[in-house]
């Protein structure tokens, strides 16, 4: 089972992106184990704090290193990723020379009630993440449109076509993780 550090870009208790992440988690078990990052505990990024890094920051960086892969579950705020995710990216990528993201396989998904379902926010993340040396899953892209009843109260996806699409996404993500782990093992020899 692969551990996927999951960064949900919303702190709202009834977040549709958290519901979507839980539906993905349920659908991909036992292939993946989702470890949800506590992004709400991270202070606003401040380079001065590296003199004595706050415990939530060191815990977060350790969880990145320990994970097999990273999953970004992003809402879209004003056609951009939320500041919560950008703050997490800054903490994980610093201090200089200690980029915890480097070499990690990653994927981006997101949901909204709108028809383009977080496509613009995801596009911006797709331009940022390679600069942090994350190995990003290119296809399939998941711009999930939340509709009433599509994810039930037990976090099951109720539409078989949508479920099949998500299964295909999970298979591709799993393959990317395996390829990067294989390359890392070859380099370590």
Q: What is the pLDDT of residues 174-183, one digit of tens each?
A: 999 999 998 8
Instruction: Say what the pTM is.
Output: 0.95
Q: Which two tokens stand for residue 153?
A: 């109260």
Residue that has been written with the tokens 């383009």 in this structure:
116
Query: Domain range for residue 105?
Result: 2-188
Whether residue 114 contacts residue 77, with contact meaning beta carbons closer than 8 Å, is answered with: no
Considering its fold, how many domains does the chain have in total?
1
- Which CATH number belongs to the domain containing residue 97 in this structure? 3.40.50.360
Decide if 42 contacts 91 (C-beta within 8 A).
yes
Q: Alpha helix (H) ranges present in 129-159?
A: none
Distances (CA, A) of 152 to 16, 22, 65, 72, 148: 12, 11, 33, 22, 9
Mark the ranges of the chain whose per-residue pLDDT is less than 70. none
Contact of 127 with 80, CB cutoff 8 Å: no
Angle at 2 between CA 163 and CA 58, to 5 degrees: 120
């Amino acid at each position: 089972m692969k551990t996927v550090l999951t960064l949900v870009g919303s702190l709202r208790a009834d977040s549709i992106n958290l519901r979507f992440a839980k539906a993905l988690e349920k659908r991909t078990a036992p292939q993946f184990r989702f470890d949800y990052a506590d992004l709400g505990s991270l202070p606003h990024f401040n380079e001065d704090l590296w003199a004595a890094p706050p415990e939530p920051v060191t815990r977060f960086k350790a969880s990145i290193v320990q994970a097999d892969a990273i999953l970004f579950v992003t809402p879209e705020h004003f056609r951009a990723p939320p500041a919560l995710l950008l703050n997490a990216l800054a903490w994980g990528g610093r201090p200089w020379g200690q980029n915890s993201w480097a070499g990690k396989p990653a994927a981006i998904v997101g949901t909204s009630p709108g028809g383009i379902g977080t496509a613009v926010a995801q596009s911006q993340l797709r331009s940022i993440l390679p600069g942090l040396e994350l190995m990003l899953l290119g296809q399939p892209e998941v711009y999930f449109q939340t509709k009433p009843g599509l994810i039930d109260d037990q976090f099951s996806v109720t539409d078989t076509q949508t479920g099949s699409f998500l299964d295909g996404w999970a298979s591709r993500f799993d393959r990317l993780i395996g390829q990067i782990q294989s390359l890392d093992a070859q380099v370590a020899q």
